[in-house]
Copies of this chain bind each other. A is one copy, B any other.
Amino acid sequence: MSRSKRVKSPAELSSASSIVIEAVSPSVDAGRYPAKRTAGRPCEVEATAFRDGHSVLRAVALSRAPGKTAWRETPMELVNPGLDLWRGAFPLDEPGRHLYAVEAWTDRYASWLADLKKRVEGGQPDVRSEALEGISILREALSRARGADKTVEAAVRALDAARSPAEALAAASVGGAPEVMRGLDSRTDAARTPKFEVVADRPLARFGAWYEFFPRSQTSDPRRSGTFRDAEARLPDIARMGFDVVYLPPIHPVGRTARKGRNNSLECGPDDPGSPWAIGNEHGGHTAVEPSLGALEDFDRFVSAARKLSLEVALDFAVQCSPDHPWVKEHPEWFLHRPDGTIKYAENPPKKYQDIYPLDFSTAAREGLWREMLQVMRFWIGHGVKIFRVDNPHTKPLAFWRWLITEVQSRDPEVVFLAEAFTRPPVMHALAKAGFTQSYTYFTWRNTKRELTEYLQELADGPGRDYFRPNFFANTPDILSPILQTGGPPAFRMRLILAATLSPSYGVYSGFELCENAALPGREEYLDSEKYQIKPRDWDKPGNIKGLVAAVNRIRRENPALQELSNVRFLPADNENILFFSKSAPDRSNVLLVAVNLDPLRPQACTVTVPPDALGRPGWREFRVKDLLDGQVYRWGERNYVRLDPAVRPAHILRVEDA
């Protein structure tokens, strides 16, 4: 380690500005990581900027769009003088990595003028000396004045001619001189912050409804794999439910060695298709498709059929191999070998994945491995895939993800990465900081009012709000949560509404709409899990909740308030089983009040309170709300009675119609 920096001498400090700029927002870990925002919206910037004494400052946000070299300047405004708080905004017209900084300097003319004004208003009888100072500031600016020199010269003459303090004060503002001088300041004492990064993602990164399904299960015969063609036929049904993204588990050739049988058995029957996460066999690896699903052309056709229905296809990016993957032979240096020469299969002792070899991302040969990963991504991007759900990213080095995501997005900034990590909070956050666009969450394990409130407040207002975008999956092939196992269809309705209204991004794994809830005893795993077998279904089975799914997704699209995360506000409801919250568009043009019965088994009732400031419109006593689920209209006031019977109505999603 080097020694501590020597203290600079006053001469060395000669270029040090007297101006301090601090608390710049958005910034993540003091600028170490980029903040996330949505392309097409301006990025609001705040900073604290001040200096010694009483001078007038100016501040601007400097910003640079991705791939550009030119910096653009937008003015900031002193919105809270008592806290030296400045605010501005710069445009994020296109997706990608934008840079910004804040610059502030002393407006010498405005400072002089403010001082002169106080003197004149304080009754100082003679300001001739002050006028000379003003003239000197004006003259110094003349060299930079170009088209504005007439104004500057007029102010000089007027100040020179002023015969009284009042005349001098008037002269100083002749022809809008202060505004002109604002643009002419030499900024000799300007301070500038380091550069901060903002990743602008396309709107889908913030707001979207995901539907996960296994193409091979789109069949009526559990021994015959469904194909991309079959999956294509399923798309209209998914589109009718109002989803934005269809996410497919790995579609690559499935390994044969140690292939898993039903329910994760080590015994594999002749018809068992194996886990799609055991990637690779003699037909290829991560850039091939499993032959029983069809050919690559069939996949392309599936992608374009989806696009026609306004659905986007997301692929699973699971960087691991079956022992039969071509890389095992071609690139043994990418795998972890034990002293006896064997390759370790994947495991998290005592859990074992005998059908999977992990890749060693820290190997000395990682240059080739990392580049191959990039090529795999670009291959699928070339086939129209712009969304990747990344399997278990927390078991690979953060430096790898930072590199990969930056590389991919530098060419294709619209690519979205969803981190499937269920691990400790610091690791979840580190992945989001490393670049993941969205993250899986603990939502499936947050059930009580207190758990949901605390978790949402942490997501909405905690340090992650600038970089951690939650995607609330209500279930996954790995997680059938206890409340769904025990709560029956009412629990599915309740959890759907919670996920879809609390988080702008949410998802379900297929079967959710059929309220499938058969679990392995004492586990959160599905019985007869689709991970290990083909599972034909009647998608229109009685008791399905597709109508509710469609309604909720329609409500999400029609109400901007549901397209944001940090606008949630929990409101009083005097029953621990009723969660009550508001969501409002920033301009309050769209205000929703949502009440959800968290108890799937019993009706619950209570009084909910709408505080006077919750609607953003002053002076109301009563207002009209419309339940967007059933169209009913109510007159509400500050305190309202709510009764929710899970068998009939799991929730109110009320839109404030007038107040």
Residues on A lying within 8 angstroms of B by beta carbon are: 1, 3-4, 7-11, 13-14, 16-18, 20, 22-23, 29-30, 32, 48, 50-54, 62, 64, 69, 71, 81-84, 97, 99, 101, 115, 118-119, 121-123, 128-130, 132-133, 135-136, 189, 195, 197, 338-340, 342, 348-350, 362, 364, 366-367, 369-371, 394-399, 403, 406-407, 410, 424-427, 430
Contacts and interface: CB of A to CB of B under 8 A. Distances in A.
6 contacts: A10-B367, A81-B424, A83-B424, A84-B426, A115-B349, A135-B339
Name A's interface SS: mixed
A399 B430 CA distance: 35
Nearest to A23: B426
Contact of A425 (B51, B83, B430): B83
A22 B119 contact: no
Contact of A350 (B84, B118, B130): B118
Contact of A136 (B18, B339, B398): B339
Nearest to A394: B52
B349 A118 contact: yes
A11 B367 contact: yes
A399 B195 contact: no
Contacts of A396: 52
Contacts of A115: 349
A274 B584 CA distance: 62
Most buried by B among A50, A69, A348: A50
Given A13-B403, A115-B349, A118-B349, A52 B398 contact: yes
B84 A398 contact: no
Contacts of A30: 29-30, 32
Contact of A7 (B29, B189, B367, B410): B410
Contacts of A371: 10
A342 B128 CA distance: 12
A435 to B, nearest CB: 11
Nearest to A374: B10
Contact of A339 (B13, B51, B132): B132
Contacts of A406: 7
Contacts of A129: 338-340, 342
Nearest to A54: B348
Contacts of A121: 350
A393 to B, nearest CB: 8
A366 B97 CA distance: 42
Nearest to A368: B10
Most buried by B among A16, A52, A350, A362: A52
B48 A426 contact: yes
A18 B397 contact: yes
A533 B609 CA distance: 62
Given A8-B403, A339-B136, A407-B7, A424 B101 contact: no
Contacts of A16: 397, 399
Nearest to A85: B426
Contacts of A51: 397-398
A426 B24 CA distance: 13
Given A122-B349, A132-B340, 12 more contacts: A18-B399, A50-B424, A52-B395, A52-B427, A53-B395, A81-B424, A82-B424, A83-B425, A118-B350, A129-B340, A135-B339, A136-B339
B1 A71 contact: yes
A442 to B, nearest CB: 12
A195 B1 contact: yes
Contacts of A18: 362, 397-399
Given A350-B119, A350-B121, A50 B399 contact: no
B135 A350 contact: no
Nearest to A397: B18
A3 B410 CA distance: 14
Given A339-B136, A395-B52, A426 B22 contact: yes
A192 to B, nearest CB: 8
Nearest to A69: B3
A349 B349 CA distance: 74
Contacts of A189: 362
A130 B339 CA distance: 8
Nearest to A2: B195
